Amino acid sequence: MIKTDKPGFLRLVAGSTRYKMFNFMVSIIILLILSAVLEGHRYGYLVLNTASTIVFILGIYAAGRNKRNVIILILFGLPWFLSEWIFTKSPETIFASVLFFLFITGTITDHILHSEEVSTDTLYGAVCVFLLLGLLWASIYGFLEYISPGIIFVNNNAEVLNSLNSNQIIYYSYTTLTTLGYGDITSLTPAGRIVSVLEAIVGQLFIAFLVARLVAIYTANALRRKSDS
């Protein structure tokens, strides 16, 4: 049995069953930061693949609330996970990553919507879903570009377009999700425009539904406590 009487950060890690959403959220943020800092470095892929492995494991741990979910997540995530290490990306492995992020996002969202109280686990889970939405749509963009280059991204600088990497696709995805606005990377194709618009809509609807749900839960619990007293 793991003792949880350790101070500070060690206690946080040791009590991972309680902070599984927090750990998953931190792992995603670290992966995003490392992907920007280490992209193009000679041995950066080792660190990035290790970070991806941690995200993969903690994601299954956070969303695998039953045996069925764990099996599905492993089946979807394993091809993506292995392709990152042995450099054998294909339409099938990229599509598997889309399914992995889609299922894990849906599972955590379902957990949030069925929560009966607003806890730290609920709030960390909400942040995880928003971060996962960016990775999910980045996988979709990557898949579409892989099977049909030029279907999504158009850029005035041909060299930038030809050297488009995963970090730039992630950047484009979060720029779209947050409706920040475009600059260096733009989608001018009909398919790219509609996919980008759908991502922006999903991002805004998620925030609206999340706030409404959390307010409803908080209000219901406040009224219940008031009636009990």
Classify residue 223 by burial, with Cβ atoms within 10 Å: 0-12, 13-18, 19+.
exposed
Tokens 């991502």 belong to which residue? 199
- The domain tally of the chain equals 1
Tokens 């996962």 belong to which residue? 132
* pLDDT score of 3: 46
- The set of residues, in sequence order, having a beta carbon less than 8 Å from that of 50 and lying 6+ positions away, is none
* pLDDT score of 182: 64
Query: Has residue 56 been placed in a domain?
Result: yes
Query: Has residue 109 been placed in a domain?
Result: yes
Query: Has residue 1 been placed in a domain?
Result: no
Per-residue pLDDT of the chain (229 residues; tens, 9 = 90+): 434 444 454 454 444 456 789 999 999 999 999 888 887 677 777 888 888 889 989 999 888 878 888 899 898 888 887 877 776 777 888 888 899 999 999 999 888 888 777 788 888 988 999 999 999 999 998 888 888 877 777 554 444 444 567 788 888 889 889 887 666 777 778 888 898 889 999 999 988 888 888 888 878 777 777 776 6
User: What number of CA atoms fall less than 13 Å from residue 21's CA on the CB side?
Assistant: 20
Answer left, alpha or beta for residue 40, where phi above 0 means left and psi between -120 and 50 means alpha: left
Tokens 């030029």 belong to which residue? 150
Query: Has residue 165 been placed in a domain?
Result: yes
* pLDDT score of 15: 47
* pLDDT score of 154: 59
| Residue 179 belongs to domain spanning | 8-228
Query: Has residue 118 been placed in a domain?
Result: yes
Query: Has residue 74 been placed in a domain?
Result: yes
* pLDDT score of 102: 93
Amino acid at 166: S
* pLDDT score of 24: 93
* pLDDT score of 199: 92
* pLDDT score of 198: 92
Query: Has residue 209 been placed in a domain?
Result: yes
